[in-house]
Structure 1
Amino acid sequence: MTTKTKAIIGFVAVFLLFYLGFWRWMVCRVYVEPGEILVLTNKLGDENTNPDRDRVVKSGVKGVQAEVYGEGRHFFSPLQYHADTSSTVVEIKADEVGIVKSMTGEQLKAGDFLAEEGQKGIMRRVLTPGKYRLNPFAYEIHKAPATRIRPGSVGVVTRLTGAPSPEGQLAEPGQRGIQKNVLQPGIYYRNPNEWKVQEVWVGYNEITLENVAFPSSDGFTIQLDISVVWGLLPKDVPEIINRFGTTEDVIRKIIRPQIESICRIEGSKYGAKEFIEGTSREKFQK
């Protein structure tokens, strides 16, 4: 081996040692702390031909890179990449749902309200409880309460997107409007931009109607407080809500008018004195 060859080998060895020991470890090393996200911006490569559509780009294209990196050591040349670790992992808790807004991709078609993969806008899919490493230049996350249906209640589901259901009818799958099936007690992770859920108590309810007035058989005006026990069957709730609105509307439109009508009919059979007597009053109230 000649002296020149030895010199070349020595130079290469020193260069590699310098590269591995100083340049790569001291200059190119990026340490990402637990909970942080590494976002890279490529300074070299092909130009982004559609920056309005592609806010983040694939490898080899100038601009914010679509791929992000999690905790640990990473090695990227500062001559080619700008490294940003200021963003953090998104955590969705057990009682939350994550609403995703995409800031990159194709524009929504006319008439569409929710975005699919590859489109800009509020996305149809949601984030369920967990931790997510998402590119903050591509997505915005808004946290909303999960839908909770308590024991003794059901959830009446209204779809906010899709073709409208026929007027006065419950919606078929895929149609906009009140759905035929209810949600049973539990926690549901639904997109509030696509679904509206109204919790309705089922079983028996007792309400008191105050100052129900009706005439007695001898022409006096009687006023009584009437207690009524009423209930809803789970299978009937969607139809009732579709026709009348809320349970308060059911009381106002159906129950109270019916009670007042019954009181007028039955109350006219008794004289004013009989309403003062305990036995007659009790009989009427039953």
Structure 2
Amino acid sequence: MANFLGSYWWIFLLVILIVAYKLFLRFFGIVIIPEDSIGIVNKKFVLLGKHRTLPDGAIIALNGEAGYQADTLAPGLHFWLWPWQYEVSKQKFINIKEGNIGIVEARDGHPLKDGRVLAKKVNCDSFQSARDFLLNGGERGPQITIIPPGTYRINTSLFTVVEEAALEIDDNMVGIVTTREGLPLQTGEIAGREIPGHNSFQDGQIFLDNGGFKGLQEQVILAGRYYINPRFATVEIKEMTTVPIANVGVVIAYVGDQGVDVTGESFKHGNLVSRGQKGVWVKPLDPGKYPINPYTHKVEIVPTANVVLNWATGKTESHRLDEKLSTIKVRSSDGFTFSLDVSQIIHIPSTDAPKVIARFGSVANLVTQVLEPTIGNYFR
């Protein structure tokens, strides 16, 4: 046994060195950071100098104070990091997969301003520079800026990153947006007006800088993939509005500029307004699919083909406008009562459809308020 150890001692020494080389290097202040990681440095103490302790309320050190350091260690070899003064933890690069986004929250920075729920955007290389974030006025708390798919070197002693799926809107669907940040809605308004420049709500800071309003938005987003911060805006997905063939869609807008009647003296039973104004639009929608916000615009479907209405109990056409009509009871001149089934054909030109809606509210109301009593009285 002694001869065996004497002959192969160098092998045991080599194994020990291989196992303990990192501890050996660490003892002499040398740190190796792998190529897929960064080093997060916690300085345990500072003996000399004016920057020995962190300012009140601060968590991250910018000037070499004791505590977690803003600057991280890049992959490679680093010297003079004595183990009794520096604790170095290795953090894998943060990888945001394709089709996902990274939601960021900061542990340090200025406090949020009154009324704000998200921290403003600052230039910090997608949160890869903790120093720039803090020096440029970054705020603590949930951030309005997200990080898109990719690989990032982020100091997790300052930032936490939660990966979530990006928003996907399928074909023939629309997204109805409600924001959690912005100016309060003006009196009498139910939704925020369209704001330019924010790339379909993907840049929340531009939305706020350009005067965006908090709450329901007039603007909808169409089919596609969107990198929208769910802490900034929620999106409800709805089907597009369909106007069938042989029909038109009359739009009733609850938002927009105050409507100005365009009918003149020829129509005195309601107001019709131009597109984009509040009220009943004078020009209806032709057959097709439209990205309409159902909370800000209502579309009444009006048939433009001939419509048959039956005053006959148990008989209803597919349009169901006559489902509440029944057989007419008629009394003859000599006092006998008998039942009479009646059919009536009506036609509404597309140009008159908005007038019908402005006056009656719907085609069903036209039937019940005008046609039903008129036909009934005619035979009675």
TM-score norm. by structure 2 comes to: 0.49
Residue 49 and residue 71 in structure 1: after superposition, are their counterparts in 2 closer, same or farther (change >3 A)? Answer: closer
Residue 142 and residue 62 in structure 1: after superposition, are their counterparts in 2 closer, same or farther (change >3 A)? Answer: same
Partner of 1:35: 36
CA deviation profile, 1:76-113 (whole Å, cap 9, x unmatched): 3315422221x222111112111111000121122110
CA deviation profile, 1:120-168 (whole Å, cap 9, x unmatched): 1101111111111111110111122111111222222221211222344
The answer to whether residue 294 in structure 2 is matched with residue 264 in structure 1 is no
Q: Give matches, 1:1-286, under 5 Å.
A: 27-42=28-43, 43-44=45-46, 46-52=51-57, 54-78=58-82, 80-85=85-90, 87-116=91-120, 117=122, 118-166=138-186, 167-172=188-193, 173=195, 174-202=212-240, 204=242, 233-234=290-291, 237-238=292-293, 240-242=294-296, 262-265=321-324, 267-268=325-326
Q: How far, CA to CA, are the matches of 1:144 and 1:27 in structure 2? A: 42
Residue 242 and residue 144 in structure 1: after superposition, are their counterparts in 2 closer, same or farther (change >3 A)? Answer: farther
Q: How far, CA to CA, are the matches of 1:151 and 1:76 in structure 2? A: 58
Bigger share in helix: 1
Partner of 1:254: none
Structure 2 residue matching 1:108: 3-state secondary structure: coil
Structure 1 position 201, deviation (Å):
1.9
Structure 1 residue matching 2:65: 3-state secondary structure: coil
Structure 1 position 270, deviation (Å):
9.1
What amino acid maps onto 2:80 in structure 1? Answer: F
Q: CA RMSD in A?
A: 3.4
Q: How far, CA to CA, are the matches of 1:205 and 1:88 in structure 2? A: 53
Structure 2: unaligned runs, 5 residues or longer:
1-23, 123-137, 196-211, 245-286, 301-317, 330-338, 342-380
State the identity as a percent: 24
Structure 2 residue matching 1:175: 3-state secondary structure: coil
Structure 1: unaligned runs, 5 residues or longer:
1-22, 207-229, 251-258, 275-286
Q: How far, CA to CA, are the matches of 1:143 and 1:165 in structure 2? A: 32
What amino acid maps onto 1:55 in structure 2? Answer: I
CA deviation profile, 1:190-236 (whole Å, cap 9, x unmatched): 11111111222225499xxxxxxxxxxxxxxxxxxxxxxx97521xx
What is the aligned length?
Answer: 212
8 A contact 2:54–2:65 mirrored in 1? no
8 A contact 2:54–2:66 mirrored in 1? no
Structure 1 position 269, deviation (Å):
5.7
RCO comparison, higher one (Cα < 8 Å, 6+): 1
CA deviation profile, 1:227-286 (whole Å, cap 9, x unmatched): xxx97521xx22x22468xx9xx9xxxxxxxx9972335x436999x9xxxxxxxxxxxx
Q: How far, CA to CA, are the matches of 2:31 and 2:243 in structure 1? A: 63
Bigger share in strand: 1
